[in-house]
Amino acid sequence: MTTTSAITFTKAAKERTLSNTLKEQGINCSRNDSLRIPFSSLYVKEGWNIRSKLDMAHVAKLVKAFSNGTKPSDFVVQPCEINGQTRFLVIGGHHTHKAVEILINDPKNIKFTNETLFDVELFHGEERNRLVKAYNANQGLQTSLLDKARTFQRMRLEGMTNKEISDETGERPSVISNALFILSGDAKLIELIEEDKISGTRAMQLLREHGAEKATAFAMLELKMYDQSQTQTQNEEAQQHAHNSTQTKQQSVIENSVSGEATAITNSTNEDLGTTAVAAKKTTKNALKTKKLTEKQIDELLSVVAFLSERVTETEDGVNINDIPKAIAEKMTKPSELSASIKTHNANITKLTESI
């Protein structure tokens, strides 16, 4: 049950009377740190969960499991007061809460009601402690890089240092600093990550390569070029598929005698589609990378300069370079041609990003 009512966490002095309050509401207190409470007493605060969105595939698995008799895991909760009523903020167990909620709203469900009692682990602490508890409770499911970054940022705002976050979550300091770095991107880049148009890892790479001011432009251009590449590839594949279909029909009498051949063709086509998509992404990324001379090219250029320096003779009018082999002369032209090519390539990328 989700609500946006004002929330006040029960202070230590009030917790002495908590047991009586719970008994009045029919809540079973088995131990000080363990309770069984009705589902209606659980409170999910909108926007508090460290995940920006639930994994609905995981929720569906829980719904099926609970329907088949699997006992839900204990909720991790903290007592709080909402408009004078004692409730329990869900700190750990948001996917379980959603699964139970779905079953309660299912007319065919006979398993749960709003008054069904659930085991909970009672938690006490400040916001920083709640965030750490929630983060550690989520380790069973992969947390996105952006969700990690936002959680670490919330911990920082609660006064925690990167070292303290590392000590209490078990994450390496580099993981924490790298995750926080992604928040240096602008709102549009964050939006692209949220919409799964670009991965958090790729966004981080663009931020490091081009800086916060240009990263979004490169991301947008990359998506545009990839979409164009995919459209072209799909058209070519459609034409090839039509051609293959025609050939298959013409040879159907022969091919029908070969067991499983149609399946093999279909599987091969699907593999090609996946390979093509990966190749298209790689090509798009490479096309947008700014270029510079490699170490090998620089070494080669220096070797040419060293060779020429040994053949320099001074004259009254200047210097002469004597006896230049043809192979060296050819090497002399390559650096200038390569440099011009690199400048043109980088200038084109700059022009494209500025047009976004």
- The alpha carbon of 216 is separated from its chain's Cα centroid by a whole number of angstroms, namely 16
Query: What is the C-alpha to C-alpha distance for residues 285 and 202, in angstroms, rounded to an integer?
Result: 10
Q: Domains, the chain, ranges and CATH?
A: 10-124 (3.90.1530)
- Name the burial class of residue 144, with classes exposed (0-12), middle (13-18) and buried (19+) by CB atoms within 10 angstroms of its CB: middle
Q: Could you give phi then psi for residue 6, rounded to 5 degrees?
A: -65, 145
Contacts with 144 (C-beta within 8 Å, 6 or more apart), sequence order:
51, 52, 200
The pLDDT score that the predictor gives to residue 298 is 75
Per-residue pLDDT 10s for the chain (356 aa) are 444 445 655 554 344 445 555 555 555 544 455 689 999 999 999 999 999 899 999 999 999 999 999 999 999 999 998 888 889 999 999 999 999 999 999 988 888 999 999 999 999 899 999 999 999 987 568 888 999 999 999 999 999 999 999 999 999 999 999 999 999 999 999 999 999 898 999 999 999 988 988 899 888 888 886 666 555 555 555 666 655 665 555 554 434 433 443 343 344 444 444 455 555 555 555 555 666 777 777 777 777 777 777 666 766 666 666 667 777 666 666 766 777 677 766 666 666 655 55
CB-neighbour burial class of residue 100 (10 A; exposed 0-12, middle 13-18, buried 19+): buried
For the record, the structure tokens of 169 come out as 């979550």
* Among 226, 348, 355, CA closest to 289: 348
Q: What is the pLDDT of residue 12?
A: 44
Reported as type and span, the H/E element at residue 235 is helix 200-250
pLDDT number for residue 83: 85
pTM for this entry: 0.61
Q: Judging by beta carbons within 10 Å of its beta carbon (0-12, 13-18, 19+), is residue 337 exposed, middle or buried?
A: exposed
Contact 29, 35 (CB under 8 A): yes
What per-residue confidence (pLDDT) applies to 4?
41
Q: Which two tokens stand for residue 192?
A: 């692209």
- Output the pLDDT for position 284: 54
CA distances from 270 to 160, 240, 266 (A): 49, 13, 6
